[in-house]
């Protein structure tokens, strides 16, 4: 595989991580700021209580973290170290 292809793939993965991280921060801040409003609206729309929705929201943010770190960032770092190691040769 060509080093230029590896660099492009690495850059795409790192940018995906950065964009995903920013989106997660925005979602998290929005959720924290409007927690009571969102819980009331979701309770009315889905006929549930906040005690049922809270674990769902926490699971959502946990899964975003898992995806960003282990699916996007880990391969990007592996490609980065591979490129750096092969450039030194």
Domain that holds residue 46: 3-88
CA R_g for the chain: 19
Q: What is the pLDDT of residues 8-67, one digit of tens each?
A: 888 888 988 998 899 889 988 988 898 888 888 888 888 988 888 889 888 998 899 889
Which pair of structure tokens corresponds to residue 75? 């391969």
Question: Quick one: pLDDT at residue 6?
Answer: 86
Higher pLDDT: 3 or 29? It is 29
Query: Could you give the number of structural domains in the chain?
Result: 1
- Please determine, for residue 7, whether its predicted confidence score (pLDDT) is greater than 80: yes
- The C-alpha atoms of residue 11 and residue 37 are separated, in whole angstroms, by 38
């Amino acid at each position: 595989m060509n080093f230029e292809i590896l660099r492009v793939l690495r850059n795409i993965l790192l940018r995906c991580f950065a964009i995903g991280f920013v989106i997660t921060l925005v979602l998290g801040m929005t959720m924290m700021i409007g927690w009571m409003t969102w819980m009331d609206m979701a309770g009315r729309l889905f006929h549930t209580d906040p005690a049922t929705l809270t674990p769902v929201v926490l699971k959502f943010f946990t899964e975003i973290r898992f995806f960003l770190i282990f699916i996007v960032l880990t391969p990007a770092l592996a490609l980065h170290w591979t490129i750096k190691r092969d450039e030194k040769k």
